[in-house]
Chains A and B, each alone.
Chain A
Amino acid sequence: MSKSTDLDPAALPAKPEDGPPFQAPWQARAFAVAVTMCQAGYYTWDEFRSRLMAEIARQSHPGESTEYYQHWLNALEKLLADKGFVGGNELDAKTRELVNPRR
């Protein structure tokens, strides 16, 4: 599960004085899906957080915000698959459909 050390000597990423919470619209949507489905009672926040922590632990280099939300998305997909709401294949297929709608 883990890398041998948590210590990371890299400097902190560049800090804009005040940045928006989301660097791209998809991040906002991924955030909102995770939160509203929890609030609707489909899973607990602990269940989501566990998977988020696992995704982050897999990371091996310092991340930007985009990468952080990639972890968030991965965690969300895993949770939804575990709970039987959206299967991985189903999501892959729908994504392909959006890329090439005439297939």
Chain B
Amino acid sequence: MLRPEDVEQAVKTGGSTRRPEEGITPCFKPGDTVRARNRNPVGHTRLARYARGKQGVIHHDHGVFVFPDTSAHGLGDKPQHVYSVRFEARQLWGDTACGADAVYIDLWDDYLEPA
């Protein structure tokens, strides 16, 4: 139970799900062209529906984090790299979208395949 005297420290500390990177090889690196997998799992996933099957480019590797698809359901942490992936607006929405615009989505390694 969280006691009143612990509230301030708990708020200031938070709870990161970042994990050490040693031994966890990223499948991709910035600049790689990738496709978000077109999976429609029965369970929970953080793979945004609007990105499924779409092509993007790895913008940045954020490092290694716990994989909530498994960890949030008692199926293990499966730590892996999370990337910021850039999707052109026209790739996502078609030609009515503004050609300059893009959406950056944070995606786990398991959500991506090479394009």
A in complex with B: yes
B1-14 interface code vs A (CB 8 A; 1 in, 0 out):
11000110011000
B66 at the interface (CB under 8 A from A): yes
B19 at the interface (CB under 8 A from A): no
B20 at the interface (CB under 8 A from A): no
Nearest chain B CB to A21's CB is how many angstroms away? 14
Whether A50 pairs with B68 at a CB distance below 8 angstroms is yes
Which positions 1-53 of chain B face chain A at CB distance < 8 Å?
A: 1-2, 6-7, 10-11, 15, 17, 40, 42, 44, 46, 49-50
A36 contact set on B, CB distance < 8 A = 2, 7, 10
Which of the 9-residue segments A22-30, A41-49, A66-74 touches chain B?
A41-49
Out of A6, A39, A46, which one reaches B72, CB within 8 Å? A46
Q: In the assembly, what is the distance between CA of A75 and CA of B7, in Å?
A: 23
Q: Which residues of A contact B (CB under 8 A)?
A: 1-2, 6, 36-40, 44-47, 49-50, 53-54
Contact sample, A vs B, 30 pairs, CB 8 Å cutoff: A1-B42, A2-B49, A6-B49, A6-B50, A36-B2, A36-B7, A37-B2, A38-B15, A39-B2, A39-B6, A39-B10, A39-B15, A44-B15, A44-B17, A44-B71, A45-B15, A45-B17, A46-B68, A46-B71, A46-B72, A47-B71, A47-B72, A47-B73, A49-B68, A49-B72, A50-B68, A50-B72, A50-B73, A53-B46, A54-B44
